Copies of this chain bind each other. A is one copy, B any other.
Amino acid sequence: MTNFSKCNVSFEGRVELHDKLSLTGAEVSFNVLPAGTSVPFVHAHKENEEIYIVLEGNGTAVIDNQSILLTKGDCLRISPSAKRQFFAGKESAITYICIQVKENSLTQFTMTDGIVE
């Protein structure tokens, strides 16, 4: 494992970073749903928390049968067992990042994990 790895994404389609960057603590994907489309299934997770970040467009997340309107800048945490499905707007594509991490895995961060030289 080298000290860093790098790639470039276009934000124009599905890209998964785990294998491209040799990630060990997360999977990060970029996703684009064209207007009027959706992820074609409802899903949940066994142990991973998901974090969604909407980069462009708008749409809807349905989480445990609750509909949440989404627009640029919206960020969601979804617990592993919650049943979720994502929809683009009827007349708008939606572009979003999805981060998968193991629930309760973070033990410290920023000021407690950082070392300033």
Q: Which residues of A contact B (CB under 8 A)?
A: 1-11, 16-18, 20-29, 41-49, 51, 53, 55, 63-64, 68, 71, 73-79, 81-83, 97, 99-110, 113-117
The answer on a CB contact under 8 Å between A73 and B43 is no
Q: Which residues of B contact A114 (CB under 8 A)?
A: 43-46
Copies of this chain: 2
Q: Output the least CB separation between A63 and chain B (Å).
A: 5
Q: Which residues of B contact A27 (CB under 8 A)?
A: 106, 109-110
Q: Which residues of B contact A115 (CB under 8 A)?
A: 43-46
Residue in B closest to A105 when the chains form the complex, CB atoms: B105
The answer on a CB contact under 8 Å between B77 and A23 is yes
